[in-house]
Every structure is written in C-alpha cells, then in structure tokens.
Amino acid sequence: MNLLTQNAKMKKTSKENNAKIFNFSIPAYKTKDGKITCPFADSCVKYCYAQKGNYTRFPKIQELMEEKYKISKTNNFILLMNEEIKKKKATHVRIHDSGDFYSPTYLQKWLDIATQNNDVIFYAYTKSIKFFVNGLLLPKNLKIIFSEGSKTDNLIDVNKHRHARIFKSKELLEVSGYIDASSNDLKAITDNKRVGLVYH
C-alpha cells in the first residue's frame, strides 16, 4: 500500500513550491476499536478537520488509515517508510494530516526516519506537546508546530515555540501577526513561528 499520499492541499502546495510533498495519515482521534491516536486532544475534537470531509464520507479512506496505524506499530515501520520516501522522491513529508504522535515510542520512530533521510524536510502539527518540551533533541530537518486546543496548551510559549492557532477569518489572522498556512502548507515552516489557519 502507499504509506505516503497527497491530498488536494499537498498537491496544490507541491505545485506552488516546485516540491514533492506527501503526507502520512492515521485515524483522527481514535481508531475503530477505540485506540486513541490523539492522546492530548481537547477542545479541538469539536472542530477537527480530519474527522469530517473525505475522511468520514469514504469508508475506503478510513480503512487505509486504520491499516497505516497498524503498520506504524510494527518493527518494520522505519524500513517501510524509508523505502516509500525514496520511491516517491519526496522533498517534504507532513507527518499526520490526521492523527498525532500517540506515544513516545512512535515519536522515536519518526525521529529515526528523519535522521536517516536528512535531505528531506519533515514537519508536523502536534498536540502531543508534552513529548517535546523536556529537552528532546530534534533532527534539524524535522519542524514541529505545537497546535493549540490540547490538554497541555499551558506548555506552549507563544514567544518561543512554533505554534498554530485557528482563526475565524483571514483578517483576524493577519492583524494578530500570524502567517496564513490555510492554502499553502509550507507556510507552516517559514521563519514566522506564528502559524495561522482559517477555520472552514
């Protein structure tokens, strides 16, 4: 199966940036059998983009994400992902356009993958902030964006950490000094660490 895919936003962003951007998805919030994939999700569950649209309307997509979750728990995950990255000739990989780092062990797999593919840029929005703020050393090619709406928002230093905030309009986003990553996904990893997204 294709571990890395492209949704419409990834395709658009790839074209605009002359890049090959792929995303890795697992089920949003929890699997069919109740395994939590977003352990620190809080208020965000109410407006989670990944729980609506194609993710819920098409059972096949749900099945594929369930299978990817199962693969992510295996010892072969790193090897399989390395092979997929090379096969797709990816320049960028967005980890989780659905789901999150559900455990420190799983996060470590992605740290290893990034380290072993240092010519590829990896990035992820995450509410698993607790896993990152205790001196965890990240590969230089892995960019993490703390996403507001978690149970541990108090750990986000908005003056220091790259973070994402949801806004009701583009005007509110801009007046607050955030960069709009609503349509161009790579805006999330520019020098401006205040990443804004317009709720839709």
For residue range 149-176, what is the model confidence (pLDDT) as tens digits?
A: 999 999 999 999 999 999 999 999 999 9
Query: Which residue reads 């309009």 in tokens?
Result: 169
Average pLDDT over residues 56-82: 90
pLDDT at 48 (0 to 100): 56
pTM of the shown model = 0.92
What are the structure tokens assigned to 43, written together?
């208020």
> How distant, in Å, are the alpha carbons of 34, 43, 97 from that of 48?
17, 9, 11
What are the structure tokens assigned to 117, written together?
């593919």
* Residue 179 pLDDT exceeds 80: yes
Burial class (CB in 10 A: 0-12, 13-18, 19+), 34: exposed
Question: Cα–Cα–Cα angle for 28, 62, 188, nearest 5°?
Answer: 45
Instruction: Name the residue type at position 118.
Output: N
Whether 93 and 25 have beta carbons less than 8 Å apart is answered as no
* Residue 143 pLDDT exceeds 90: yes
SS3 89: coil
pLDDT at 59 (0 to 100): 75
pLDDT at 60 (0 to 100): 85
